[in-house]
Amino acid sequence: MKQNDGKRNLSRKWLLISCWGVLCLLFFSGCAPIEKIQQWKTAQTQAVKGEQQQTVSGNQLYLPPSGQPETNSTQMVSTSETVEVALYFADAKGEALVAEKRTIAKEEGIARATINALLQGPQNNELQGAVPAGTALRDINIKEDGCCIVDFNKSIMENQSKDKNGEMMTVAAIVQTLEQFSSIKEVQILVEGRVVETLAGQVDISVPIQTGN
């Protein structure tokens, strides 16, 4: 009986060893595929992230067909400033000057823009231009001493009214329109680049006319 019991115990030991060996074999053999699957999943995740990063970089480097960077819509909105000026025109009877407010673009040569607006005439139908029709500005220059030299074409003389009041209105309209700029102390009116005595023989413009500044 003892011999049989020994054989049974020995068989059991071998059975346990065999089972343990099989379990170890299954366990270790199963680890390799699991690790490979995990490595493959990790590689796939990194690949997807890499593609996403590459796509973002591509969008950042995108340029429109013109080769210029896209402009932010807010930058396309005009930011130009305007300024209100006073232009002097004759009343309906041509007896007095009346200031008409006008909004024009603010620019470096604001005096030039103002005189050009004056020459275009009034917007108010009850007013009339004090400067003869056809008059054009040839040049304007404000010197450091405050003297504004304003040069007109010959139409300012050729189309000038021979009436003394009309000539005075023309000169006054130019001077008062320029007088609103504090840097202008006096105004010298030229015709075709030359100093002239009068526009129509009544008002002396051979010397600069003082403003109220």
pLDDT in tens, 69-109: 333 332 333 346 889 999 999 999 989 999 999 999 888 88
Residue 184 lies in a domain: yes
Q: How many angstroms separate the CA atoms of 171 and 209, rounded?
A: 9
Q: Is 39 contained in some domain?
A: no
Does any domain span residue 107? yes
Name, of 33-42, 56-65, 68-77, 200-209, the range with top average pLDDT. 200-209
The number of folded domains in the chain is 1
Report the C-alpha gap between 180 and 87 in whole angstroms.
10
Rounded to the nearest 10 degrees, what angle do helices 164-179 and 110-119 cross at? Answer: 150
pLDDT above 80 for 198: yes
What is the domain range of residue 155? 82-210
Whether 206 is in a domain gets the answer yes
Q: Which residue has the higher pLDDT, 79 or 144?
A: 144
- 17 within a domain of the structure (yes/no): no
Residue 161 within a domain: yes
The answer to the question of residue 157 being in a domain is yes
CA-CA distances (angstroms) from residue 191 to 28, 55, 146, 195?
Answer: 108, 68, 20, 7
Instruction: Examine the pLDDT at 67 and tell me if it is beyond 50.
Output: no
Whether the pTM exceeds 0.85: the reply is no
Within a domain: residue 58? no
